[in-house]
Amino acid sequence: MLTVKEIFFSEYEIKKSKFISYLAPYSEFDELLKKLQNEHPKARHFVYAYRYLNEFDQVVENSSDDGEPKGTSGKPTLATLAGKDIVNSCIITVRYFGGIKLGTGGLVRAYSDSANKVISEAKLFPYTKEFLYEYEIEYSELQRYEYVANKLGIKVVDKVFSENVIFKISCEKEKKEEFEKEVLLHTS
């Protein structure tokens, strides 16, 4: 399985219709869709497909044709994601209609080609399962924990401030061990 860690986009044009496809981490789906709808007010369609793993490691997937004829856009986009075995990711394709109808077969090809193009231009990574880890630390240790997490590229999920700080990170098991070693090295 593969995944992406940042947003990629590409443009594809056929018969004067422009297809702008965005491949992004699934965690950014809702925000990206709203942003694109605001940035492209004259676009005719915002077709999407996503696949992610739920807490039971089951693949959850969905797609939308957003007004295109049923099955001509969202499903081919989803089939492209599934065919490349990409998870925890989404594709949103913004379509500007060029005045020439493509027909159902033409739409299927156009959306598939646009999805394939953005995937081919993206940087894909092997999927690794991440776990949530929680540390209760003193306020004086917070800067060190943040520094080490940032240095190792570990996602800080939350910081809860009370008597102590509850510092939460999300990463794979190997990174957790590396994180804990680094934190101990940087104690003063």
Long-range contacts of 40-43 (CB under 8 A, 24+ apart): 40/94, 40/96, 42/96, 43/94, 43/95, 43/96
Count CB atoms within 10 A of the CB of residue 142: 15
Rounded to whole angstroms, the Cα distance separating 110 from 77 reads 10
**pLDDT tens-digit series, residues 23-63:** 999 989 999 999 999 999 999 999 999 999 988 889 999 99
Q: What's the rounded mean pLDDT across residues 175-181?
A: 90
What single DSSP character describes residue 86?
A: B
Residue-level pLDDT at 43: 94
Q: What's the rounded mean pLDDT across residues 90-103?
A: 94
Rounded to whole angstroms, the Cα distance separating 117 from 9 reads 9
pLDDT mean across residues, the chain: 93
**pLDDT tens-digit series, residues 114-148:** 999 999 999 999 998 888 899 999 999 999 999 99
